[in-house]
Structure formats: structure tokens, C-alpha cells
């Protein structure tokens, strides 16, 4: 399973890349805004460079299919590792599958986004999306169980040998990460604030504290013993 970082914050991406746990990054217009990216092209280029050959998802900003296509073609020229996020439908409910299909034919990688149901996911995969982004937190907001959606989509992709990969996004709690991983996500995109919480544990700290204290005691004993061994010879 891969881990992406759901962020446009270059510092955070650098920190977690150095920890060896980041396989890519995802952004959307809200994340870019929150993380202070004012120039989309500059921001995306910077993040794409940081990520090396790991994928960076950048989302189109229009409801209009032709504008989506134009933006996607432009964004894809910014860096080789940029993948274009296309919503499954625009805000009026018009299908964006044709846009996904066209971009796939042009060799541009697509992350089909804002997916909330099994049916949306399988259509996006059929249309040629490289990634299908299931929004776990938003599925749960609607009273549905994201783990069931993730598991069903994963089974379907495996059954039909689809190359599409599930990204689980919209992570709201650390527990969402475990649930998504166990439900069969290929990738989970994690907001950076959850990563320290995943690493840390109160009892791990306590355990290490005990070992450090005991090591100090052992070292003291060892140096005492050395002095005693050294003393008779010295005389």
C-alpha cells in the first residue's frame, strides 16, 4: 500500500519525504488555498520538483468540460509527475467521464476525484482513470460506511483486472487510516497533521524511557567495574 500526503505545504512534504513514507501527494483548490499557494503554477512546479518522480495530483478549477481539458493539458506540461484531478461530475451533476476518457487517450494521467459511491468508482475506472479517489470522510458524512465502499470497489477492480488504483482521501481521524488500509485501499492520502499521531504512542515513549534509564544504570555499573578491574593492576 502506498501513502500520499494530502497537502500543498512544501515544508511538510519535505519532512515526511525524509522519513521515507511518502509515495506521492494530492492537492485540491481548497488545500492550495489553506496552504497559502497563491500561484498555482509556481506552487505545483515546486511540489512536483520536491516529489521527484512521485505523482502529484493537481485539480482543475472549472465546471466546463472544455476548460477542464485545456487546464489539464496545461498543468500536465508543468512537470512529468503531475496527474490531473477531474471530478466525477461537475457541480451541476454533468458527467465528467468523457473528459477522463479523452485525457487518458492523450496519455495524461487522471485522478478521478470526489467519488462517494461504488458506481461512480467503477465508471471512472472504465473511463480510464489511473486513480479513483474515494472520499471516506464525506461518505461517512452521508451516513454510509466508507470501508464497505472501499472493499467493494477493490474487489471489483481485482475481479476485472482493472489497472485503476484506489486512493482514499477525506481522512478525518487516525482511525480512518486503519479502516481504509484494512478495507483494501491501494493508496491513502493523509493530511500531514495525522502523521505524527500515527507514529507516536504514549506507551512507546514510556518503554523507551525505561530502556534509556536502565542503560544509564548499566553504563554506570560498567564504568564502576572497570575502575575496580583497573585498580589492582595499576598498583
Catalytic positions are 85
Among 12, 28, 81, 120, binds ligand E4P (CB under 6 A): 28
CA atoms of 102 and 113, how far apart (whole Å): 16
Q: Which residue is nearest to ligand E4P (CB)?
A: 169
- CA 105 to the chain's CA centroid: 25
Among 133, 177, 183, 184, binds ligand E4P (CB under 6 A): 133
Does the protein bind ligand E4P through residue 138 (CB under 6 A)? yes
Among 29, 98, 137, 192, binds ligand E4P (CB under 6 A): 137
Count of residues in contact with ligand E4P, rule CB under 6 A: 12
Q: Counting Cβ atoms within 10 Å, is residue 172 exposed (0-12), middle (13-18) or buried (19+)?
A: middle
Q: In the bound complex, what is the minimum distance in angstroms from residue 215's beta carbon to ligand E4P?
A: 42
Does the protein bind ligand E4P through residue 16 (CB under 6 A)? no
Does the protein bind ligand E4P through residue 169 (CB under 6 A)? yes
Q: Which residues contact 48 (CB under 8 A, 6 or more apart)?
A: 56, 78, 79, 81, 82
Q: Which of 185, 164, 163 is nearest to 176 (CA)?
A: 185
Q: Which residues contact 64 (CB under 8 A, 6 or more apart)?
A: 90
The residue (of 78 and 194) whose beta carbon lies closer to ligand E4P is 194
Q: In the bound complex, what is the minimum distance in angstroms from residue 203's beta carbon to ligand E4P?
A: 30
CA atoms of 14 and 26, how far apart (whole Å): 14
Does the protein bind ligand E4P through residue 78 (CB under 6 A)? no
The residue length of the chain stands at 235
Only segment of 64-72, 94-102, 134-142, 145-153 that touches ligand E4P (CB under 6 A): 134-142
Tell me how far CA of residue 207 lies from CA of 199, 200, 202, 211, in angstroms. 14, 12, 9, 6
Only segment of 11-19, 102-110, 132-140, 214-222 that touches ligand E4P (CB under 6 A): 132-140
By CB under 6 A, the residues from 197 to 216 that bind ligand E4P are: none
Only segment of 22-30, 34-42, 65-73, 202-210 that touches ligand E4P (CB under 6 A): 22-30
32 with 43: CB under 8 angstroms? yes
List residues near ligand E4P by CB under 6 A: 6, 26, 28, 30, 113, 133, 135, 137-138, 169-170, 189
Amino acid at each position: 500500500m502506498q501513502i500520499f500526503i494530502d497537502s500543498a505545504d512544501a515544508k511538510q512534504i519535505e519532512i515526511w519525504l525524509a522519513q521515507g513514507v511518502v509515495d506521492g501527494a494530492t492537492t485540491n483548490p481548497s488545500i492550495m488555498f489553506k496552504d497559502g499557494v497563491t500561484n498555482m503554477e509556481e506552487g505545483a512546479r515546486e511540489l512536483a520538483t520536491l516529489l521527484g518522480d512521485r505523482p502529484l495530483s493537481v485539480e482543475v478549477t472549472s465546471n466546463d468540460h472544455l476548460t477542464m481539458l485545456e487546464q489539464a493539458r496545461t498543468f500536465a506540461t508543468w512537470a512529468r509527475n503531475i496527474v490531473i484531478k477531474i471530478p466525477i461530475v461537475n457541480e451541476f451533476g454533468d458527467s465528467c467521464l468523457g473528459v477522463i476518457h479523452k485525457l487518458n487517450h492523450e496519455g495524461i494521467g487522471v485522478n478521478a476525484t470526489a467519488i462517494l459511491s461504488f458506481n461512480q468508482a467503477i465508471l471512472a475506472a472504465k473511463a480510464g482513470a489511473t486513480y479513483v479517489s474515494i472520499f471516506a470522510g464525506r461518505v461517512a458524512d452521508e451516513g454510509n460506511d466508507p470501508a464497505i465502499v472501499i472493499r467493494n470497489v477493490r474487489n471489483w477492480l481485482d475481479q476485472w483486472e482493472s489497472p485503476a488504483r484506489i486512493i482514499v482521501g477525506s481522512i478525518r481521524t487516525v482511525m480512518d487510516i486503519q479502516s481504509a488500509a484494512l478495507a483494501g485501499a491501494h493508496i491513502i492520502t493523509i493530511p500531514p497533521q495525522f502523521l505524527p499521531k500515527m507514529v507516536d504512542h504514549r506507551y512507546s515513549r514510556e518503554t523507551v524511557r525505561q530502556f534509556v534509564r536502565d542503560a544509564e544504570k548499566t553504563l554506570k555499573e560498567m564504568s564502576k567495574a572497570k575502575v575496580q578491574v583497573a585498580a589492582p593492576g595499576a598498583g
